[in-house]
Amino acid sequence: MSLVHEIDYGTPASKAERTVTLSIDGRPVSVLEGTSVMRAAMDAGIQVPKLCATDMVDAFGSCRLCLVEIAGRPGTPASCTTPVAEGMSVSTQTPRLKQLRRGVMELYISDHPLDCLTCAANGDCELQDMAGAVGLREVRYGYDGANHLKQAKDNSNPYFTFDPAKCILCSRCVRACEEVQGTFALTIEGRGFESKVSPGIGEAFLESECVSCGACVQACPTATLIEKSVIEIGQPEHSVVTTCAYCGVGCNFKAEMRGEELVRMVPFKDGKANRGHSCVKGRFAWGYANHRERILKPMVRERIDQPWREVSWEEAIQRVASEFRRIQGQYGKRSVGGITSSRCTNEETFLVQKLIRAGFGNNNVDTCARVCHSPTGYGLKTAFGTSAGTQDFDSVEQADVVLVIGANPTDGHPVFASRLKKRLRQGAKLVVVDPRRIDLVRMPHVEAAHHLALRPGTNVAVLNALSHVIVTEGLVDEAFVRARCDWDDFSEWASFIAEAQNSPEQVALVSGVPAEAIRAAARLYATGGNAAIYYGLGVTEHSQGSTTVMAIANLAMATGNLGRPGVGVNPLRGQNNVQGACDMGSFPHELSGYRHISDDATRSMFERLWGAPLDNEPGLRIPNMLDAAVDGSFKGIYIQGEDILQSDPNTQHVAAGLAAMECVVVQDLFLNETANYAHVFLPGSTFLEKDGTFTNAERRINRVRKVMTPKNGHADWEITVLIARAMGIVMDYAHPSEVMDEIARLTPTFAGVSYARLDELGSVQWPCNEAKPEGSPIMHIDGFVRGQGKFMITEYVPTDEKSTGRFPLLLTTGRTLSQYNVGAQTRRTDNVVWHQEDRLEIHPHDAEQRGIADGGWVKIASRAGATTLRALLTDRVAPGVVYTTFHHPMTQANVVTTEFSDWATNCPEYKVTAVQVGTSNGPTEWQEQYRDQADRSRRIAIEAAE
Ligand code: SF4
Ligand code: SF4
Ligand code: SF4
Ligand code: FES
């Protein structure tokens, strides 16, 4: 194996359509108009020396190393800033150019430490390479004069260092931060000889606006900005391209290794979701894979109040098989079930649901998508016929208006956010619909045209009001609706939406959003050109989650914003493989490809291939499994890669359900909160230790490639296979590619997918089949999958969860950039420097009324439970609304969330909980107990590791 080297073309690719032909060093070359001479030369196989140019950012023309001569033009222009022209004749290697370049390099080297042999970048330094390329043999200027060699190093960022003594002021880092990441954290401070790169105004990196995305580190041609892991471990020797296991953006990375040790994760420029960019999680937060708290040996115990006992894999697997068979013998076939994981691969998820359907003989399988995007599946399938988003991420580059509702992309989907911000800086308009003033509302060079700061729980009302304006002001795209949608449904919907109850003036009363703002946002969305909607859990996690998704679909259909680039309805999926987990048949009523279990033809196809009869009745959803456990009819569960005690609502109820079961099997990396109720713990594997695929929010199937041997002995898919075999179920797979072959055989939308195809194309967006062998970047181009688009009546029904005299504030929840979900992985990395605890955001006015000080402890109570955390006073939230993250188990925000859920899918109503907030002396009794228990678990893990 060797390092995967991606060519740096020096300047970005042109998007023009016309081709021009020129000659470079006598070689003819045809390139797109607007291409730089430097890039054209690369296309012709000629490398022009360069330092300040890199193809991730626009050319700058500062280093003067890339000079060329052009016939008929005076001087020696920089090839990076000179566009090609028809018939141009370029020379890149003349005696004059060679001399000029050597002179430039000599000046650079005269103010650069000559410690190449001990420098961490030795062998991966462009300055070193260029010195060789231009034939620099001597430096005539000594080191006695003024120089920058004594400048202090900044080690404040946990993941990379900044050594200004090595800086050549090429400004690649500054431009990467601006153009790629869109944070504008870096500047060139001072003038002339005093110029230097500075995070903020002379701040350390950690104190600055830097979000640690790593774009500047990647752009830096020297060791000025370099990963600490490279300094510690050394230069990588080989690499494997794989996919980030955090969020639904699905960024591709090169995992660069030295032996069996991971040195760094470098974003892959050919990655079609991320196009070479990354966020702090995928780029740097992989240390959890080696964390000492990771459990590597299987453990069992008879009762949950007993200590764990380490056992062999054979004993653990036998225990699982015999317990599930015993329970089924005693309590019936439907007394057991399982939960698949949106963190695991498609292949692993497919096998877990196969184990349950074909092995357990029931359909009691569900997934954590239940608690996040199940309304997306339901709503979009109803409206369009497919349970998935309509676009690829590239599509945003053609959007003119972007409506972001119930999503916080800069924190939740950072790499997509960077692409969105770039488009906004180019002039696209933004509408934000969110109770909280998320960063996108106003940040450097981005400002929303409208921020509709609605009261939590009123999404449907506001979306209806937007449609009301479109219908009543004649802004409907009637040609689109007549051609593509069911006209009768539309007419019925249009009469409903035109009713006075849906007018902005009426909706203003319930949502708190001024009517004029709603009208202006609707007009912009309907008339501003290509309009795209991006949404997140702030849409789905409501009692009207499915209705909201359908209201979004109505809005897009009514304005004809579907079926082409730049438009569409785009759910921003939370976890890395939440789309895939749903696609693979993780819901109790659906087989892979969203086909109902009661469909005889589909079921018999599975039965024939699996050699087992399948139950035609939908099984239990997660909340129903827990209810049945409390009632005594559900006794055993296999949970792969989920922590339902922390991630599901109403923690006490989840705990009661788990405690009532006779066999709880948890398969995970760490002893998570759910494992406190487990009888068998099966150590899981990380994404670095297995082969498989993840499907991101764009329906893109990305390869996950094994980078290192599983530390626990087995990849997660192998563990499921072992359980199946111990239960007498045939599962003969030598490699996950064979599981994908089976998925393709059984699932029409995956029929063309194979590992060979993925290796050939890099990734593919389903549907991928005979009709679409290269996949489907944009859906519903010629017609909706269901035939005609279906308008649904979306009546606003206020949630039963209302603020009252006793619980006067509305709590809503969300994520922060550096942490991920319940924090099991990110809390075990240096990302904790940015988020050490969950805080309660509260408006200063509400805080003052309650005597709450910034940083003071507060108790937050709902009718479900209470917890304490510290307060953060901010006007990001409106008066009457409070907000927190849920990354730390000590906070357990879900103790206060209630049992209310989406009417169609049971997705919990996490985003609206009526609460009271008051001052507190510190953690509650259960939090103290929890801390003791967590300390005990941690000790067990560490002792086991030692
Ligand atoms: S790490 Fe990212 S945000 Fe921070 S300075 Fe570099 S490019 Fe900017
Ligand atoms: S830190 Fe690196 S990328 Fe930035 S100006 Fe200095 S040498 Fe160039
Ligand atoms: S944006 Fe998401 S997929 Fe990409 S690196 Fe960050 S966490 Fe990973
Ligand atoms: S690479 Fe062209 S001026 Fe620096």
What's the pLDDT tens digit per position in 8-33? 999 999 999 999 999 999 999 999 99
- Does the pLDDT of residue 232 top 70, yes or no? yes
pLDDT 10s digits, 97-128: 999 999 999 888 888 888 888 999 988 999 99
pLDDT at residue 19, as a whole number: 97
Average pLDDT, integer, range 633-655: 88
Cβ atoms of 822 and 815 within 8 Å: the answer is no
Query: What band does 377 get if pLDDT is binned at 50, 70 and 90?
Result: confident
Token digits for 633? Answer: 């009819």
CA-proximal residue: ligand 3, atom 6 (nearest): 279
Cβ atoms of 425 and 444 within 8 Å: the answer is no
Average pLDDT, integer, range 299-320: 96
Average pLDDT, integer, range 672-689: 95
Cα of 892 vs its chain's centroid, Å? 22
Q: Which residue has the higher pLDDT, 137 or 211?
A: 211
Which residue in the block uniquely carries the two structure tokens 């499994």? Answer: 625
Lowest mean pLDDT among 182-191, 269-278, 888-897: 888-897
Is the CB of 267 within 6 Å of ligand 3? no
pLDDT at residue 888, as a whole number: 77
The H-or-E segment that residue 522 falls in is helix 515-527
Mutate to test the pocket of ligand 1, among 188, 212, 277 (most ligand atoms within 8 A of CB): 212
Strand boundaries in 502-598, DSSP class E: 531-535, 568-571, 590-591, 595-596
Mean pLDDT of the chain: 92
pLDDT at residue 539, as a whole number: 83
Query: What band does 159 get if pLDDT is binned at 50, 70 and 90?
Result: very high
Cα 65 to middle of ligand 4, angstroms: 5
Average pLDDT, integer, range 422-447: 96
Cβ atoms of 581 and 370 within 8 Å: the answer is no
Cα 166 to middle of ligand 2, angstroms: 8
Q: Which atom of ligand 3 has the smallest separation from the CA of 415?
A: 1
pLDDT at residue 211, as a whole number: 96
**The model's pTM:** 0.94
Cα 575 to middle of ligand 3, angstroms: 10
Q: Which atom of ligand 4 has the smallest separation from the CA of 38?
A: 2
Cα 61 to middle of ligand 2, angstroms: 14
- Does the pLDDT of residue 942 top 70, yes or no? no
Q: Between β-strands 27-32 and 19-24, what pairing exists: parallel, antiparallel or unpaired?
A: antiparallel
- Does the pLDDT of residue 799 top 80, yes or no? no
- SS3 state at 914: strand
Query: What band does 142 get if pLDDT is binned at 50, 70 and 90?
Result: low
pLDDT at residue 900, as a whole number: 79
Cβ atoms of 654 and 899 within 8 Å: the answer is no
Token digits for 279? Answer: 């966020």
- In order of 121, 229, 251, 832, the CA distances from 158 in angstroms are 18, 10, 22, 10
Distance CA 939, CA 929 (A): 15
Lowest mean pLDDT among 347-356, 385-394, 758-767, 897-906: 897-906
Distance CA 255, CA 706 (A): 10
Question: What are the CB-based long-range contacts (under 8 Å, 24+) for 7-10?
Answer: 7/42, 8/54, 8/55, 9/38, 9/39, 9/42, 9/43, 9/55, 10/36, 10/38, 10/39, 10/42, 10/48, 10/50, 10/53, 10/54, 10/55, 10/59, 10/66, 10/79, 10/80
pLDDT at residue 890, as a whole number: 73
Is the CB of 61 within 6 Å of ligand 4? yes
Closest ligand relative to 197 C-alpha: 2
Cβ atoms of 367 and 601 within 8 Å: the answer is no
- Does the pLDDT of residue 674 top 80, yes or no? yes
pLDDT 10s digits, 817-860: 888 877 778 888 888 888 888 899 999 999 999 999 999 999 99
Distance CA 736, CA 439 (A): 40
Average pLDDT, integer, range 599-616: 96
Average pLDDT, integer, range 918-929: 76
pLDDT at residue 244, as a whole number: 97
User: Please, which residues have CB within 8 angstroms of residue 598's CB and are 6 or more apart in sequence?
Assistant: 589, 616, 617, 618
- Does the pLDDT of residue 893 top 80, yes or no? no
Distance CA 263, CA 415 (A): 22
pLDDT at residue 901, as a whole number: 78
Mutate to test the pocket of ligand 1, among 160, 175, 210, 279 (most ligand atoms within 8 A of CB): 210
pLDDT at residue 927, as a whole number: 67
| Percentage of residues of the chain with pLDDT beyond 70 | 96
Amino acid identity for residue 66 in this structure: C
Distance CA 343, CA 361 (A): 25
Q: Which atom of ligand 4 has the smallest separation from the CA of 80?
A: 2
Closest ligand relative to 250 C-alpha: 3
pLDDT 10s digits, 761-795: 999 999 999 999 999 999 999 999 889 999 999 99
- Does the pLDDT of residue 931 top 70, yes or no? no
The H-or-E segment that residue 935 falls in is helix 925-945
- Does the pLDDT of residue 936 top 60, yes or no? no
Query: What band does 943 get if pLDDT is binned at 50, 70 and 90?
Result: low
- SS3 state at 425: helix
Query: What band does 327 get if pLDDT is binned at 50, 70 and 90?
Result: very high
Is residue 782 packed enough to be buried (19+ CB in 10 Å), middle (13-18) or exposed (0-12)? Answer: exposed
